[in-house]
Structure 1
Amino acid sequence: MRKIFSKWIDNYFSNEEVMLLLVLLAAALGVILYLGQTLTPVFTSIILAFLMQGMIEWLRKRNVPHFASVLMVFTLFVGILLSLMLFIMPLVWKQSINLFNELPRMVAQAKSVLLLLPQQYPDVFSEQLITQIIDLATAELSQLGQLVVTYSLNSIAGLVALLIYVVLVPILVFFFLKDGSSLVNWWVSFLPRKKEMLSQVWAEMDQQIANYVRGKVIEIVIVGSVTYLAFALLGINYAALLGIIVGLSVLIPYIGAALVTLPVALIGFFQWGWTNEFWYLMLAYGIIQALDGNVLVPLLFSEAVNLHPVSIIIAVLVFGSVWGFWGVFFAIPLATLIKAILNAWPKSHSFIQAGPETD
């Protein structure tokens, strides 16, 4: 057994580049786990700069100087950021407050509907079961109210953190756009000259991560905007809030669309009941989801990530628990990174091909 284990170690971990890669991965994981919250503005700025790098390259190919390209792209970024802060976020916040204030009426309406079930379907629903469901829902809403109160008490600290982000992130984005190549070359200068494995992994991941992140942001914007317009035309309440939720749901493959269906259906039901307007709403929502999955995703993600659905779901659960929102956002690229590392991992087949040894 010791010989087999020793050969397995020599087969997969004897290469110097493997040890270097393991050290880099361990260092990156340590930074995320212990300094992730502190360095969140830096990570956010790197991601935003990475998203805009394609626009800078497009301008440079048309003979626009680098600094001028950076200024043009950065000005566009600041304009979008100001639009979000001055128009979209206040609207979403107002609708969120209105929804929370309307929850008691919705709960009362839901109780009246649930209490009719034992009369209409006595063989399926009992009064005791309906009472338990109502008590459970009331308890959950009470916890939600306490959470809102706690958040409001901590709003000053949150406001300070938001101001830090608003000031710090644009500054970091500007310098990452302006000096990104110099910073990358400076970090690479600390690595050994022999880094074929790292180069192979980077070459495999660079284009895929770029296409995925940019495509995912475009998908969020398109799905959220179309959802808001469709819901606003149908006249449903909280159209902007639902548009944000539906747009962000595309971050979680296979699960997000199913989860966000519930709030859409509930808000539509509490507003209209079982009327034609409710079914028009669900039909529009179903069409948006179908077009997203069958038209938009194939167009945006031309280089499909070759991962099994089970691997994607596991990656979302694992990285989401480790890194929260950003873990969910980067679950598929991180899973693809692991696959690229396994493909590039140096190994000989002598251990696999050799038969069992006899003493």
Structure 2
Amino acid sequence: MLHMFKSWYQRRFSDPHAVSLMIILAGAFLTLYFFGGLITPLLVAIVLAYLLESPVARFTHWGLPRTFSVAIVLIIFAGLMVLALFGLVPTIWHQITNLSADVPKMFNDLQIYVSSLPERYPDFVQPHQVTVLTDTLREKVLAVGGSVVKGSLSSLVSLATLGVYLILVPLLIFFLLKDKDTILRSFIDVLPSNRRLASKVSAEMNQQISNYIRGKVIEIFIVGIASYIVFVVMGLQYAALLGVLVGLSVLIPYIGAAAVTIPVAMVALFQWGWTPEFWWLLAAYGIVQALDGNVLVPVLFSEAVNLHPVAIIVAVLVFGGLWGFWGVFFAIPLATLVKAVWGALVMKETAPPVSY
């Protein structure tokens, strides 16, 4: 066993460039694992810098100085964020308030419906099962209410954190975009000299992350707007709130779409009951999800489509467990990174020719 491990190690890691790649990856992993919470503003700034690099590069291509191009792009981006803040947020907050007020009525209707199940299906549902179910639902609702109260008490801390982000993140974005080449050169200077494989993987991942972030933002807007239009046309309550939830659900591949289906279906069920309108709404919503998964995603993420769905789901679970939101957000690029590293280290040996 020891000889097999030694032979495998010498075959895979005899190249110093491979060792350098693993050291760089281990350093990045440990930094994010232990200091991810501290450098969250930097991570947010890096994501937005990737998003804004394309328009900055276009302005510089037209002959404008990079600093001036960065300033123009940041002003336009900030203006769009302000419009969204004052245009969309009040509507979302109003619908959240209305939904919170309707939750007790929804819960009572659900209790009445569950209590009628023994009469409707006496061979399948017993009264004691209904009692256990209603007690469990009541405990869950109380637990959610307690969580809301705790969240309200911690809102001052959240507002303070948001205030810090509103100052730090724009500054970080400006300097990341303005001094991009200088920052990259400084970072490269501290890396090991034997980094041929690391440079190859880095170049591939840099382009993929840029395309992924840009494509993910486009997907959020398209799916959210399409869902909102469907909900408004069909007369579903809380259309703006649910449209935003559906749009944001694309951040979590597969799992997000399944999770957000529950509130959409519950609101439709309490609004219309088991009527044709309810089934038409689910059918239209299913069409939006099908078009997203089978048309939009392949167009925006051609590289990610090469990953098996099981690999993507495992990546969401593993990286989400390690790094929370950022692990979930970058699950597909990280899975692609693992695939690229695997190809650089393990699959680099060519297979022997087959003789017939």
Please state which band the TM-score falls in when normalised by the shorter chain.
over 0.9
Provide closer, same or farther for how the CA distance between residues 35 and 63 of structure 1 changes in structure 2, counting only shifts above 3 A: same
Rounded to whole Å, the distance in 2 between the matches of 1:247 and 1:71 is 29
Paired letter, 1:84: A
Q: CA deviation at 1:346?
A: 7.0
| Corresponding residue for residue 223 of structure 1 | 223
Q: Using the alignment, how far apart are the partners of 2:345 and 2:293 within structure 1?
A: 34
- Whether the 8 Å CA contact 2:20–2:198 is kept in 1: the answer is no
The within-5 A match list for 1:185-196 is 185-196=185-196
Query: Paired residue for 1:141?
Result: 141
Comparing 145-154 with 248-257, greater Cα deviation is found at 248-257
Residues 45 and 170, structure 1, Cα contact 8 Å, conserved in 2: yes
Identity %: 47
Compare 195-204 and 320-329 and name the one that shifted more. Answer: 195-204
CA displacement 1:127-186 (0-9 Å, x = unmatched)? 222221111111111000000011111111111111111222112111111112211111
1:67 corresponding residue in structure 2: 67
Tell me how far 1:304 sits from its aligned partner.
4.3
SS for the counterpart of 2:88 is helix
Whether contact under 8 Å (2:20, 2:192) holds in the other structure is: no
Partner of 1:357: none
Give the corresponding residue for 1:356: none
Structure 1 residue 65, shift from structure 2 partner = 2.9
CA distance in 1, matches of 2:266, 2:309: 29
Gaps of 5+ in 1: 354-359
Q: How many corresponding residue pairs?
A: 352
- The alpha carbon displacement at 1:349 in A equals 5.5
The SS at the match of 1:54 is: helix
**Match for 1:287: what amino acid?**
I
The 5-angstrom pairing of residues 91-130 of structure 1 reads: 91-130=91-130
Counterpart residue type for residue 157 of structure 1 = V
* CA distance 1:118–1:52, shift in 2 (3 Å): same
Residue equivalent to 1:249:
249
Q: Is the 8 A contact 1:227 1:288 kept in 2?
A: yes
**1:337 aligned partner:** 337
What's the counterpart of residue 271 of structure 2? 271
Q: Check the 8 A contact 2:20/2:195 in 1, yes or no.
A: no
Q: Structure 1 residues 325 and 348 mapped into 2: Cα distance closer, same or farther (>3 Å)?
A: closer
Cα distance change of structure 1 residues 117 and 190 upon mapping to structure 2, 3 Å threshold: same
Output aligned runs, 1:153-192, within 5 Å: 153-192=153-192
Q: Which runs of 4+ in 1 moved over 6 A?
A: none
Counterpart contact for 1:56–1:73, Cα < 8 Å: yes
CA distance in 1, matches of 2:261, 2:92: 19
SS at match of 2:116: helix
Q: 1:310 to 1:101 in 2, by over 3 A?
A: same
1:191–1:181 Cα change, 3 Å: same
Paired residues of 1:250 and 1:257 also in contact (CA < 8 A): yes
Q: Secondary structure at the match of 1:132?
A: helix
Q: Could you say which residue in structure 1 is the equivalent of 2:262?
A: 262
Compute the TM-score of the two structures, normalised by the length of structure 1: 0.92
Specify the code of the residue in structure 1 equivalent to 2:62. Answer: R
Alpha-carbon distance between aligned partners in 1 of 2:348 and 2:101, rounded to the nearest angstrom: 65
Q: Quick check: 1:78–1:170 contact (8 Å CA) kept in 2? A: no
Partner residue of 1:208?
208
2:92·2:241 contact (CA, 8 Å) conserved in 1? Answer: yes
Q: How far 1:110 sits from its partner (Å)?
A: 0.6
CA root-mean-square deviation:
2.0
Q: Map 1:1-16 onto structure 2 (within 5 A).
A: 1-16=1-16
Aligned to 1:232: 232
Residue type of the alignment partner of 1:8: W
| TM-fit CA distance, 1:286 | 1.6
Query: Displacement, 1:335?
Result: 0.8
Please give the secondary structure, in 2, of the residue aligned with 1:251: coil
Alpha-carbon distance in structure 2 between the residues aligned to 1:86 and 1:166: 16
User: For 2:347 and 2:32, how far apart are their aligned partners in 1?
Assistant: 29
Mapped pair 1:52 → 2:52 = yes
Which ranges in structure 2 are unaligned for 5 or more consecutive residues?
none
Alpha-carbon distance between aligned partners in 2 of 1:347 and 1:145, rounded to the nearest angstrom: 52
Q: Secondary structure at the match of 1:64?
A: coil
- Give the Cα separation in 1 of the matches to 2:347 and 2:285: 49
* Structure-2 separation of matches of 1:75 and 1:343: 42
Name the counterpart of 2:77. Answer: 77
Change (3 A) 1:36 1:101: same
Identify the residue that residue 198 of structure 1 maps to in structure 2: 198
The alignment partner of 2:306 has SS state of coil
Q: Say if 1:223 and 1:247, in contact at 8 Å, map to a contact too.
A: yes
